[in-house]
Amino acid sequence: MTATTTRPARRARKADAAQTARKANASGSPGSRKRHSLILSLLMTVMLLYALLPLFWLVVNSSKTPGALFSTFGLWFGGPFALWSNIHQVLTYDNGIFVRWLANTLLYVVVGAGGATFLATLAGYGLAKYDFPGRRGVFAVVLGAVAVPGTALAVPTFLLFSHLHLANTPWSVILPSLVSPFGLYLIWVYAQDAVPAELLEAARIDGASEMRTFFQISLRLLTPGVVTVLLFTVVATWNNYFLPLIMLSTPQWYPLTVGLNDWDQQSFTAGGQAIYNLVITGSLLTVIPIMIAFLVMQRYWRSGLAAGSVKM
Amino acid sequence: MADLPLGARPLGAARSARPAPTRPARRRRRWTGWGFVAPFLVVFAFGLIAPIGYAVYLSLFREQLIGGNSFVALENYRQALTDPQFWASVRRVALFLVLQVPVMLILALLAALALDSARLRWAPFYRLAIFLPYAVPAVVASLMWGFVYGSQFGLVARLSSALHVGLPDPLSGSWVLASIGNVVTWEFVGYNMLIFYAALRSVPGDLYEAAEIDGAGPARIARSIKLPALRPAMVVAVVFSIIGSLQLFNEPNILHWLAPDTIPPNFTPNMYAYNLSFSGQEYNYSATIAVVMGVLTMLAAGGVQWYGRRRMA
C-alpha cells in the first residue's frame, strides 16, 4: 500500500526538481555565459549599502555608552565598548520586562503565525482539491478579503473586542493574527500544480482517509508554499505594531515592538528617564531572531512566492 | 476538478453499507471540502467579517448629550465628508502614494532586472541583502531612522555641520513626508524587487533563445518579453503599495514623538482614527473614518486590478 502512494509522490517531486533545474539553467536572459558588468555591480552596491547601512548603524550604536551616543560619530565605533553591559541592562531593566516582552512575542508568533499558516494551508488546499457546495462563494469572499488591509481592521477590531471584553488579553492579538486570506490564496495557487489529482485518487483507492492523505502526502508536496506563507505570517506577527498598540494597555502583555516604542517615548514624557542606549540595543535584540528565522526560511520559499505573484 | 468516473472510488463504496454505492460516495466527496475550509472560515468570520460589520454598525450611531447613544443614519458620514482634518490626512497619504510608490517600484524594478540579467556577480548575495530590511519591524526601522534624522545625535545634522553644507532638517515641515517615504522605501524596496524578480524568472528560457535566433537585441527582448511578463507582478506590487500608503500608520506614529509639530495626530487617516478612538473617545466617528478609508482603499486597489486585467486581456 505504501509503495503505491509514495511512488507517484516521488515522481511528482522529481518532475518538480527537473522543472527548477531547467529554470535555473535558462537563467533568465539570453546567453548564460555573459561577462559580468562592473557598472551593474557598482549600482547594485549602492542599493546594498542603502539596505545595510542602517543595520550597521544599529550594531555600531548598540556598543556605545549613553554618553558616547552623543559625542561620537554615528557610523563608527567610539567610546568604551559597552555592548555586553547594554545587553545586560536591556534584559534587567524594570525587573526584566524585556524578557517578558520577548516571551509574549514568541507566544503571538507561534500561536498566531503558526495557526494562521495551518488554517490557510488546510483551507487553500481544500479549495484547490475538493469540489463542494458553496465553494465558489467561499472563494469569492476570501479573495475579496485579500485586498482588505490589516491596518484598516485594527480600529474596528479593537472596538469589537473591547465591546466583548476581549481587549487587553493575549487573545486580542492572537485571534486577528490567525486570519490570512493572502496565505490561503498562495496555498490555493500552489496546491493546484503541486498536488496532482491522480495522486489523491491513488491514495483514495488505497483506502487512505482524506485527512491522512493530506498530512502524509499533500503536505509534503506543499512544503515550499507553506514555508512561504509561514515566512509572511511570522514576519507580520513578529513585527505587528498597530494591533497590539491599540489592544493592549498593560505592559505585561506587550510584544517587543510596542515595548520598544514605550521605552523610546519615555524620553519625551515629563520626568521620564531617557534610555536611548536601551532602545537601540533592545532594537538590535528584536531584529536578530527574526533575521535568523528569515534567513533560514528564505531558502525554501522562492518557488512559492513565484507562483503567488505571477498568477494573481 | 478530478471528474473521474464514480466507480473509481471504492473507498466510499466500502464504507457505505447501502446498496447503491455511488450516491453516498458522491455525497462524502462533496462535503469533505468543508472540513478543510471550515476552521479557516470560523476565524475569518470572527476576525475579519465581524469587526467590519461592527464598525459599519457603530458608524450609524452617535453618542449625544441628549438621548445618549442614538441612531443617526449617515450623519457621521456627512461629517466625515466635510471634515477638513480628515481630508488633510487623505490628501497627505495621496501625495505620499503619488511620490513614494513610483520611486520605490522603479528602484525595485531596476534591481530585479539587474539580478535577472546574468551579468551581476554574486547576484544571490545582493538579492538577499537588499531583501533583508523587509524583516526589520517597522517600529525598529522608524526608531533607527528617527535617530538618524533627529536633532540630538542625528547623523544628518552632524554631517551637515561637519561638511559645512546646509542639509535640510529631515523632520521639518517640507521634508517630513519625504523622510517617512525614505523609511517605507527602505523597508519594502527589496520585497517588491523579489516580486518582480520572481516574475522574470518565470519566463521560460526557450523564449529568450527563440527571440535571439530571430535577431532581437537586448532592448527588444526587454520590451517584448520582459515587460509583458512583469505586468501581473506590477499589478500586485502597485496594489500592495496603494494599500500600504493609504493605510500608513506605524512610521509616522513613531516619528510623531520626534516631530510633534510637523507630524500632527491627523497626519494620516489611520492616525486620525486611532487618536479619535483613544484621545477623543469618539468611537462612532472613529469607526466611520475606518470604514470610509477601507472603502477608498478597496476602490483604489480594485481599480488597479481591473485596469491591469483589462490591459492584459
Between residues B69 and A187, the one the model is more confident about: A187
Nearest chain A residue to B30, by CA = A132
Biggest CA–CA distance in chain B, Å, is 93
What pLDDT, on the 0 to 100 scale, is given for residue B310?
80
What is the per-residue pLDDT for A2?
Answer: 38
B44 and B89 in a single domain? The answer is no
Q: Are residues B43 and B144 in the same domain?
A: no
Query: Does B211 sit within 8 Å of A152, measured CB to CB?
Result: no
Q: Residue B27 domain-assigned?
A: yes
What residue ranges define each of the domains in chain A, with the CATH number in brackets?
83-311 (1.10.3720.10)
Last residue of a domain, one of B29, B59, B89: B59
In a domain, B30, yes or no: yes
Contacts of A210 in chain B (CB under 8 A): 32, 35
> Phi and psi at residue A21, in whole multiples of 5°?
-60, -40
Residues B124 and B14 both lie in one domain: no
Which residues of chain A are within 8 Å of residue B35 when distances are taken between CB atoms?
A: 126, 210-211
Question: Is there a single domain that holds both residue B27 and residue B164?
Answer: no
What is the pLDDT at residue B8? Answer: 33
The minimum CA-CA distance between A107 and chain B, rounded to whole Å, is 17
Does a structural domain hold residue B67? no
- All residue ranges of chain A with pLDDT < 70 are 1-34, 301-312
From B175's Cα to the closest Cα of chain A, the distance in A is 19
- Predicted local confidence at residue A121, as pLDDT: 96
Q: At what angle do helices A223-238 and A170-177 cross, to 10 degrees?
A: 140
And the C-alpha cell for A145? 478579503
Candidates B47, B132, B138; nearest CB to A178: B47
Q: For residues B42 and B189, state if they share a domain.
A: no
Inter-CA distances, A64 with A78, A82, B180, B221, B233, Å: 7, 5, 26, 52, 43
In tens, the pLDDT along B243-292 reads: 899 999 999 999 998 888 899 999 999 999 999 988 878 889 999 999 99
pLDDT of residue B55: 92
B190, B109: one domain = yes
pLDDT given at position B312: 65
Inside any domain, residue B115: yes
The domain of B42 spans: 6-59
CB-based contact (8 Å) between A81 and chain B?
Answer: no
Residue B104, exposed/middle/buried by CB under 10 A (0-12, 13-18, 19+)?
A: buried
Q: Per residue in A180-190, pLDDT tens?
A: 998 998 899 88
Indicate whether B50 and B82 sit together in one domain: no
Q: Among B59, B85, B102, which residue terminates a domain?
A: B59
Identity of residue B258: L
B55 Cα to chain A: minimum distance (Å): 5
Contacting residues of A for B305, CB less than 8 Å apart = 147
State the burial class of residue A278 (Cβ atoms within 10 Å of its Cβ: 0-12, 13-18, 19+).
Answer: buried
Find the residue in B nearest to A239 (Cα).
Answer: B137
SS3 per-residue string spanning chain B:
CCCCCHHHCHHHHHHCCCCCCHHHHHHHHHHHHHHHHHHHHHHHHHHHHHHHHHHHHHHCEEEECCCEEEECCCHHHHHHHCCHHHHHHHHHHHHHHHHHHHHHHHHHHHHHHHHHCCCCCCHHHHHHHHHHHHHCCHHHHHHHHHHHHCCCCCHHHHHHHHCCCCCCCCCCCCCHHHHHHHHHHHHHHHHHHHHHHHHHHCCCHHHHHHHHHCCCCHHHHHHHHHHHHHHHHHHHHHHHHHHHHHCCCHHHHHHCCCCCCCCCCCCCHHHHHHHHHHCCCCHHHHHHHHHHHHHHHHHHHHHHHHHHHHHHC
Nearest to A170 by CA among A97, A261, A246, A247: A247
User: What ipTM was reported for this prediction?
Assistant: 0.83
Instruction: Answer yes or no: do B50 and B189 share one domain.
Output: no
The residue length of chain B stands at 313
What is the tally of structural domains in chain B?
Answer: 2
**Same domain? B161 vs B283:** yes
- Domain check: are B131 and B235 in the same one? yes
Closest chain B residue by Cα to residue A204: B11
Mean predicted lDDT score pLDDT of chain B: 84
pTM given for the model: 0.85
Task: Tell me, yes or no, whether B69 lies in a domain.
Answer: no
Look at residue B64 and tell me if it is in a domain.
no
Nearest-angstrom CA–CA distance, A83 and A210: 54
B68, exposed or middle or buried, with CB in 10 Å at 0-12, 13-18, 19+? exposed
Question: What pLDDT, in 10s, does the model give residues B6-54?
Answer: 333 333 333 334 444 444 444 455 788 899 999 999 999 999 999 999 9
The verdict on a CB contact (< 8 Å) between A156 and B33 is: no
Q: Are residues B251 and B113 in the same domain?
A: yes
Q: Which residue has the higher pLDDT, B150 or B82?
A: B82
Q: Do B116 and A28 touch (CB under 8 A)?
A: yes
Are residues B29 and B119 located together in one domain of the fold? no
CA of B301: which chain A residue's CA is closest?
A147
* Interchain contact A146–B (C-beta under 8 A): no
Which residue among A70, A200, A204 places its CB closest to the CB of B153? A70
- Cβ of B54 within 8 Å of Cβ of A294? The answer is no
Q: For A246, name the nearest residue in chain B, comparing CA atoms only.
A: B274
Q: Between A and B, how many residue pairs show a Cβ–Cβ distance under 8 A? A: 337
* Per-residue pLDDT at B78 exceeds 70: yes
C-alpha cell at B167: 542639509
User: In this structure, what CATH number is given to the domain that contains residue B217?
Assistant: 1.10.3720.10
Residues B91-141: tens digit of each pLDDT: 999 999 999 999 999 999 999 999 988 888 888 899 999 999 999 999 999
Which residues in A lie closer than 8 A to residue B249 (C-beta atoms)? 151, 154, 242
Q: What are the cell numbers at A58?
A: 544599529
